[in-house]
Amino acid sequence: MAAENVMEVVSQLGAGVTDSLAYLGALATLGSRAAYYTFVGPFQGKPLRWHSAASQAMEVGVRALPILSLITFFIGLILALQSAYELSKLGAMTLVAKAVALSMSRELGPLITAIVVIGRSGSAFAAEIGTMRVSEEIDALEVMAINPVDFLVAPKFLAMIVMLPCLTIWANTMGILGGALFGVAQADFTLGRYIQASIESLYIRDILSGLIKSVMFGITITAVGCLEGLSTGGGAEQVGRSTTRAVVVSILLVVVVDLVFTGLFFFLGNR
C-alpha cells in the first residue's frame, strides 16, 4: 500500500511538473510571437498598430499614474520610517535617504509598479481577450485571416515594454519624495538636500537593473494575461476564472523573474 501511495505522489508530482513546463512553454511561445510581430513584422510589410498600441499605452501607463503615485509615495515613507528605526540607534539618520533611494530603485519601484499593473492591466487583458474568446470574436479574427496575436497581443506587448520602465522611473521618484517627507520632518534634511543625498547615493547601475527587471516584468504580465485570455473555455464564469488566474500567476512569475534577475545582477556585480 505504502509503495502505491508513493507512486501516486510521484506521478502527481510528475504531472504537475509537466503541466507547469507546458505552461511556461506556451508563455514563451506567445511572448516570442508577440515580440516577432512587434520587432520583425514591421520590416516584412506588416505595419505596427501604432494607434492600438498608443491607446493601450494610455490605459496601461498614463491611467495608472495616480494610484501608482499614491502607493509608491507611501511605500517610500514607510521605508524611511522603517530604516530610521534602526539608523537612529546608530545616530546615522542621514543614511535614510540612501536606504530609501537604493531599495526603491533596485527593488521596490519595479516590483510595486509591476503589482499595480498586474491588478489594473494584466487582469484587464485576460478579461478582454477571454470575453472575445467566449463570444467567438477570436475565431472571427482567425476566419478573417487576421492573426489574433498580431492584432490583440502585439500592441499590448509594445505598450507594456515601453510603459513599465517609464512607470518604474516615476515610482522611484515618488518613493524618494515619500522618504523626503520623513527626512524633512524628522531628520533635519531640507528637501533640496534630501534629494541631493538620494541622487548621490545612486549609481546608474542601480537604476538600470531596476529598469531591466521592469521590462522583463512587462513581458511576463502581458504573456500571462493574454495567454489566460486566449485559453479561456466556454462560458462567462470562465472569464472570471481566467482573470483571477492571470493575477495570481502573474504575481508569482513576476516574483520568480525578480529573483532570477536580482541573483544574476548580484553575481555579475560581485565578480
Partner 1 sequence: MEREHPTLSEAKTVISLRDLRVNYGETEILHGIQFDVKAGETVVILGGSGSGKSTLLRTLVGLEKPSSGEIWIYGQDIAAISEDELYEIRKKTGMSFQGSALFGSMTVGENVALPLREHTKLEDSTIEIMIRLKLEQVGLAGFEYHMPSQLSGGMKKRAAVARALAMDPEILFFDEPSAGLDPIIAAGIDQLILELKKAFGMTIIVVTHELASAFLIADRMVLIDKGNIVAIGTTEEMRASVQPRVRQFLDRVPEPDVEGELDYLQTLTQGYRRRG
> Position 217: which residue type?
F
**CB of 215 vs partner 1, minimal distance in Å:** 28
**CB of 124 vs partner 1, minimal distance in Å:** 13
Closest of 111, 116, 103, 107 to residue 176, by C-alpha: 103
**CB of 255 vs partner 1, minimal distance in Å:** 33
Instruction: Name which of 200 and 237 has its Cβ closer to partner 1.
Output: 237
Query: Please, which residues have CB within 8 angstroms of residue 108's CB and are 6 or more apart in sequence?
Result: 72, 75, 79, 175
**CB of 13 vs partner 1, minimal distance in Å:** 23
CA atoms 187, 188, 191, 196: torsion sign = negative
**CB of 130 vs partner 1, minimal distance in Å:** 13
* DSSP symbols for 66-133: HHHHHHHHHHHHHHHHHHHHHHHHHT-GGGHHHHHHHHIIIIIHHHHHHHHHIIIIIHHHHHHHHHHH
Residues 197-226 that bind partner 1 (CB under 8 A): none
**CB of 148 vs partner 1, minimal distance in Å:** 12
Instruction: Name which of 130 and 178 has its Cβ closer to partner 1.
Output: 130
Instruction: Name which of 140 and 252 has its Cβ closer to partner 1.
Output: 140
Instruction: Name which of 35 and 132 has its Cβ closer to partner 1.
Output: 132
Instruction: Name which of 111 and 132 has its Cβ closer to partner 1.
Output: 132
237 interacts with partner 1 by CB under 8 A? no
Question: Is 138:235 a contact under the CB 8 Å cutoff?
Answer: no
Question: Is 83:30 a contact under the CB 8 Å cutoff?
Answer: no
Question: Is 8:124 a contact under the CB 8 Å cutoff?
Answer: no
**Cα distance between residue 39 and residue 154, in whole Å:** 10
| Residues in contact with partner 1, shown as a per-residue x/- string from 120 to 159 under the rule CB under 8 A | ------------x--xxx-xx-xxxxxx------------
Instruction: Name which of 75 and 152 has its Cβ closer to partner 1.
Output: 152
Binding interface with partner 1 (CB under 8 A): 132, 135-137, 139-140, 142-147
